[in-house]
Structure formats: structure tokens, C-alpha cells
Structure 1
Amino acid sequence: MVESFFDKKTECLTIHVKGRFDYSCHKAFKEAFTAVSKVKFYEVNLADVSYLDSSALGMLLLLRDHAGEEKAQIRLVHVNSAVIDILKIANFHRLFDITE
């Protein structure tokens, strides 16, 4: 399940993923970041993610491309230890700001 909230004051889009972060979330995840314009900061809350697969990694890369690649300001927050291990194996700690 994917929920999103845009704070107009800070221009931050928060995307909260719950449960399995896999291909079943693709449409909702993409809609969350393409439906809002004038976003300066992105925050992906992974606190409630129980599973993450390669399609989730691909979705994070799509978000990064959409947000401006190297100029993108994306934080992956509240990442649990199992998910952070996967992100580190994929070298995503080099592409995203990740906090537990």
C-alpha cells in the first residue's frame, strides 16, 4: 500500500510504503510522485515495509530520475535493518540519503 502527502510550505512530498514493496505497488508509487508538481524534496518512509524486491529498487530509481538524478533530494527514512541491508547490497546508499 502506498500513501502520499505533499506539504506545500516545505515543498516536500512524503511517500509512505506499507507492507510489501514490490511490483504490486508500481502504479500507486509512480502516481504518487508524478501527480504533484513543484516538489523540491522527496521523503520515502519505509518504516512499515516488510519486504522489498528488485522491482522496488527499480521504482526508487524511477523516482530519482523523475526528481533530477544527481540533483535529486530524496531521503529514505525509517528504514529497518532487513531493508537497509538490501539497499546497501545494491549500493543504494550511494544514491540516496538513508536513515534508520
Structure 2
Amino acid sequence: MHTSVEQDNGRAVVKLSGRFDFNSHREFRAAYENLLGRGDLKEFVVDLGGVDYLDSSALGMLLLLRDKVALENKAVSLANCQGNVRQVLDIANFGKLFKIS
């Protein structure tokens, strides 16, 4: 998996591409960890547009991010969810936990 981070107007966008699975946990955590605690950021967006596969460990990583961000009273949303990725998120009822676009 490849990650990149963009910041603009109080929003951090973590863009992912490739396979989002257990082997990605260090890279995913490293992408957002240094952004936590920053007062200028109000929202985190995980852009899954480039992800072609995700598994249950990826779902767990998203939940962990959600919990950490919630401690700071900030929002997390999932963007560009398509195809199989969207299907997995729908089956896991992530629409009740995240704003998904």
C-alpha cells in the first residue's frame, strides 16, 4: 500500500492506494499519527479511491483511527469508496460509523 497526506483548510486527507490489509498497519498509522493533537485540523478524511482490496484488519485500523480522532472531538470520513471496497464497508455497516462518499 502507498499513502500520502494532504492538508488544507483544517482538513487532513490521507490517500491510500493498493492493498489495505494487515501488512499496511505501520504505514497507515505513520500517515496520520503526527497529525493527531494538532489544533488546526478539524477533520480527517481517508481517501480510499486507490484501494483495490481491504480486509477485516483494515476495518479495524479505520475504527482505531476513528476512536483516536474522536478523543479530540474531530470527525473522520471515508471518501471515494467504490466497487469491492464500498461493498465491504456496506456489509460491515460502516455507514453507521463513518460518513462515506
Percent of aligned positions with the same letter in both sequences? 39
**Which residues of structure 1 form unaligned runs of 5+?**
none
Give the whole-Å Cα distance in 1 for the aligned partners of 2:24 and 2:7: 19
Aligned-pair CA distance for 1:4: 1.2
Amino acid paired to 1:6: Q
**How many residue pairs end up in the alignment?**
96
Q: TM-score, normalised by structure 2?
A: 0.87
TM-score (norm. length: structure 1): 0.88
Q: Call closer, same or farther: CA 1:93–1:61 in 2, change over 3 Å.
A: same
Q: Could you tell me how far 1:68 is from its partner in structure 2? A: 0.7
Determine whether 1:3 maps to 2:4: yes
Q: How does 1:1-100 map to 2 (within 5 A)?
A: 1-7=2-8, 10-36=9-35, 37-38=38-39, 39-68=41-70, 71-99=73-101
> Structure 2 regions of 5+ residues with no counterpart?
none
One-letter identity of the residue aligned with 1:43: V
Moved over 4 A (4+): none
Q: Which moved more, 1:55-64 or 1:23-32?
A: 23-32
Letter of the 1:74 counterpart: V
